[in-house]
Amino acid sequence: MGSKAAGADPPAPAEFEIARGLPVGRHPLLAVFPGLDRLPLASKLAEDPAERAQLFAETSIEVVDQDMWMYVAPQAMPPFARRRGWKPVITPEHDCVVVGVGHLRESAAMILYLDIFHELRHVVQRRHGANLWEPGVSYVERATEIDAYRLVIEEAQRLGVEASYLREYLKVEWITQAEHLQLLQAVGVPPPAPTRKGARR
């Protein structure tokens, strides 16, 4: 799950499609992102073709009327959710990625491209037994987050996306500045150049 990056947005791959006008509610993954399974990055989600086909066929998208980005719907209420006032969509029997309607309709294609593959990587991780909300481990130290961010950051770098854009993409609102720098290092994005004291502006 990423934030909206500031400045001019680089283009997503031309083959990446978004059905931006879909109503609030649940939809098949490929109805929201037609042809997503045929993009080159799809082959990196999981090595086994049968597993990938199952992922795209069985995962749904829940478009919600909330001011939010994306997350994988938990299959049971996470222990911390009530304490933080979070009321997630719960899908105990199947995999679902929850997307804010404003994010789907208004965010840049590149942001949505990176976000959906990030979340699908989480779905694959969970199918392999990972705990996406590992207790006692900070967001920027979770192996699942580092893995999912590395997948999409390496793809963005392959597409020629500038480091400044990726730094903004990784500046999610629930982490501190120090954690942001830690995340940059973990996923291979160079930190911003230090500002010299007394430098002319």
Domain boundaries, the chain: 25-187
Mean pLDDT of 168-182: 88
One-letter identity of residue 109: A
The confidence band for 1, taking pLDDT boundaries of 50, 70 and 90, is: very low
Residues in the chain: 201
Question: CA-to-CA distance for 63 and 65, rounded, in angstroms?
Answer: 7
For residues 150-168, one letter each, b for 16 or more C-beta atoms within 10 angstroms of the residue's C-beta and e for the rest, the string is ebbbebbeeeebebebbbb
Evaluate if residue 53 carries a pLDDT over 90.
Answer: yes
Q: Which of 12-16, 104-108, 197-201 has the lowest mean pLDDT?
A: 197-201
Question: CA-to-CA distance for 57 and 77, rounded, in angstroms?
Answer: 25
Beta strands in the chain (DSSP E): 25-28, 60-64, 70-72, 96-100
Taking CA atoms, 4 is separated from 178, 181, 200, in Å, by: 20, 18, 30
- Residue 30 has a pLDDT of 98
Half-sphere exposure of 172 (CA within 13 A, CB side): 19
- The better pLDDT of the pair 35, 79 is held by 35
The confidence band for 3, taking pLDDT boundaries of 50, 70 and 90, is: very low
- Do residues 134 and 57 make contact, with C-beta atoms less than 8 angstroms apart? no
What burial class does residue 15 get, using C-beta atoms within 10 Å of its C-beta: 0-12 exposed, 13-18 middle, 19+ buried?
exposed
Instruction: Specify the DSSP class assigned to residue 22.
Output: P
Please give the distance of CA 93 from its chain centroid, rounded to a whole number: 22
Contacts with 5 (C-beta within 8 Å, 6 or more apart), sequence order:
108, 110, 111, 165, 166, 168, 169
Summarize pLDDT for 98-116 with one digit per residue, the tens.
999 999 999 999 999 999 9
